[in-house]
Amino acid sequence: MLIKGIPASPGIAIGTVMLFDSEEILVPRRPITEEQIPHEILRFEEALIQTRHQILAIQHRLADEMGQEHAEIFNAHLLVLEDQSLREEILTGLKGQRLNVEAIFNDVVVRHLRAFARTEDEYLRDRTADIEDVRKRVLRNLLGRQPAPLSQMQEPVVVVAHDLAPSETALMHKQHVLALVMDIGGRTGHTAIMAKSLEIPAVVGTQSATKRIKKGDRVVVDGVRGEVVVDPDAATIQRYEVEQRRLQEINRKLLQLKSLPAQTLDGRRVILSANIELPDEIPSVIAHGAEGIGLYRTEFFYLNRADLPSEEVQFQAYKSVAERMKPHSVIVRTVDLGGDKFLSHLNLPSEMNPFMGWRAIRFSLARPDIFRIQLRAILRASAFGNLKLMFPMISGVDELRRAREILQEVKVELLRERHPFSTDMEVGAMIEVPSAALTCDLLADQVKFFSIGTNDLIQYALAVDRVNEKIAYLYEPTHPAVIRLIKQIIDAGHAAGIWVGMCGEMAGEPALALLLLGLGLDEFSTSPGQLPIIKKVIRTVEHRAAQAIAQQALTLHTGKEVEEFLAAHLRQLVPELAE
């Protein structure tokens, strides 16, 4: 059986399926006799001990892989497990109501959760996510249901899920997860981007994978074509193994370009840098020959934790990234929460259109308390390397001015406190909203660079939700509207004397690199794994030829025409990349 989806992260994997279900747990209710009470108490105590062991194991793993401060997130969960008054309420409930312990436990915890959600006390409100997590863990243990959370997987598996949050994907590990398949999602959703960063092949937007694939099935996941073969026969497996080796061989050859400059045959030099979500990705960034970090998505730092990261914790992380990348530059993007990345513990209201809602710079300007802490941490880290800063989702001059004012206030504060920082740290704006693209000339005198965020620019320009698989066919980076906007941004930046980069996924597509090079892009920033192939394209073409290609692409009428036109040129220039 062949399931088609959207290719989201390249690579081929062959393995056994684990169905990941993050659905609500059904809690059974059955009456018990008085004699059964001690047995229920024993079951409860055992479930608490088991939960405690599981949480401690997660803490150990997180401490090893991501650092102590990530492990400490789970201290709050341990406190809930040790809460004596909670135990007493459950014992009283068991005796008074004579129901199975799952039902009593669930009722008590849900009552507390409701009360916490209503309270004025911010600290208590913030604890609801921890308590909810403990509720599910204890219930799963009582019911003997293996949660197989992604952070605890032992055997390497192919994870098949209806939907996975970017924060859940961030906990995956390529030693444990061979590939990822999802029913929903698009190729530039943050779950797909995270999979790419972790070098886990992924197919998203299959619509029905969880219905058509069973736990334990053997599958082939082809992240290049966006296909999943269920229960493949020996010949199919052999064919994919050959393909897997072919891809590995191409990658090995491309990596030989690692130390060579990203320069066209006629001498136009561009910068190839990498996007990262977690500091752990630095070794891969270096191994793929990046000349810096063009986008550090700092919001992942705020996810998977029970509280907000402190200034000190952020400072240490930014400092370590700056030091490890020195002398190359690192562009730290201020936090882009909202859209498909939420902080559960902030209890933000749910929105009908989160990508068009309270997101990124809008959130930061509305929560200067959170914003200032991040700006302080970034500025302080700038003393230890070549840091630059950029603001996400700028929609016009007012927002950019306001963000820069706050930055200025924070600088004055740090000067007063005698904290060292780089006074000439470059500040840039992401151009990912059409209103910003159309007014780039007005924004240019406020910043030192633009970084084009095509993942969002495309979704806003074409009115196509980037994570909605049903309209993924309309999400076209080559749409004439998109390439005209990109040209306008690059031209406006250059007219104002500033450099223009791109950190959307479009910068990592080899055929599109020809177009972008021809349009005059100065910096390409993409997942580390895509860098060698982009370098190969750049080193194979003359800048003059790329300019002619871009000129001609601008005269075409549809996204399909542009796509086919560019693919044909790529095939001609770099035939070895064609299948």
Task: List interacting residues with Mg ion (CB under 5 A).
Answer: 432, 453, 456
* AA identity, residue 328: H
Give the nearest distance from C-beta 454 to Mg ion in angstroms: 9
Distance from CA of residue 223 to its chain's centroid? 17
Residue from 100, 284, 454, 526 binding ligand PEP (CB under 6 A)? 454
Q: Which does 504 bind (CB under 5 to 8 A by kind): Mg ion, ligand PEP, none?
A: ligand PEP
| 345 given a catalytic annotation | no
Residue whose CB is less far from ligand PEP, 126 or 505: 505
HEC string of 436-480?
HHHCHHHHHHHCCEEEECHHHHHHHHHCCCCCCHHHHHHCCCCCH
Tokens at 249, concatenated = 């061989």
Which of the ranges 2-10, 437-445, 452-460, 532-540 carries the binding residues for ligand PEP, by CB under 6 A?
452-460
Least distance to ligand PEP, CB of residue 295, Å: 6
Closest CA to 345 of 165, 157, 123, 524: 123
Name which of Mg ion, ligand PEP, none residue 297 binds, using a CB cut-off of 5 to 8 Å depending on partner kind. ligand PEP
Provide the minimum distance between the beta carbon of 300 and ligand PEP in the complex, in angstroms, as a whole number: 10
User: Is there binding between residue 80 and ligand PEP (CB under 6 A)?
Assistant: no
Q: Which of 77, 190, 479, 569 is catalytic?
A: 190
Residues numbered 321 to 350 that lie near ligand PEP (CB under 6 A) are: 336
Choose the stretch contacting ligand PEP; rule: CB under 6 A; options: 228-236, 449-457, 549-557, 568-576.
Answer: 449-457
Beta carbon nearer to ligand PEP, 106 or 451: 451
Catalytic residue among 70, 345, 479, 503: 503
Q: Which of 397, 398, 391, 423 is nearest to 410 (CA)?
A: 423
Q: Does 504 bind ligand PEP (CB under 6 A)?
A: yes
Residues 273-302 close enough to bind ligand PEP by CB under 6 A: 295, 297
What's the CA gap between 436 and 452, in Å, rounded? 10
If one asks whether residue 453 binds ligand PEP (CB under 6 A), the answer comes out as yes
Cα distance between residue 94 and residue 103, in whole Å: 9
- Residue 48 interaction partner, one of Mg ion, ligand PEP, none, beta carbon < 5-8 Å per kind: none
Identity of the residue, 44 or 371, whose beta carbon is nearer to ligand PEP in the bound complex: 371
- Residues 137-196 interacting with ligand PEP (rule: CB under 6 A): none
Given 40, 130, 281, 432, the residue binding ligand PEP (CB under 6 A): 432
Task: Pick between residue 185 and residue 453 the one whose CB is nearest to Mg ion.
Answer: 453
Q: Which is nearer to Mg ion, 142 or 485 (CB)?
A: 485
| Bridge partner residues of 450 (DSSP) | 429, 500
The two tokens of residue 96 are 């008074």
Q: If DSSP codes are grouped into helix, strand and coil, which group holds residue 333? A: strand
Of 213 and 503, the one with the shorter C-beta distance to ligand PEP is 503
**Cα angle 375-377-378, degrees, rounded to a multiple of 5:** 65
Query: Least distance (Å) from ligand PEP to the CB of residue 453?
Result: 3
268 in Cβ contact with 517 (< 8 Å): yes
CA-nearest of 451, 429, 426, 435 to 522 is: 451
Judged on CB neighbours under 10 Å (0-12, 13-18, 19+), 257 is middle
Question: How would you label 532-566 residue by residue, b for 16+ Cβ within 10 Å and e otherwise?
Answer: bbbbbbbeebebebbeebbeebeebeebeebbebb
Residues 400 and 379: their CA atoms lie apart, in Å, by 18
Residue 520 interacting with ligand PEP (CB under 6 A): no
d(CA 58, CA 39): 29
Q: Is 440 a catalytic residue?
A: no
Q: Which is nearer to ligand PEP, 133 or 281 (CB)?
A: 281
Q: Can you give the binding site for ligand PEP, defined by CB under 6 A?
A: 295, 297, 336, 432, 453-456, 503-504
The residues that are catalytic are: 190, 503
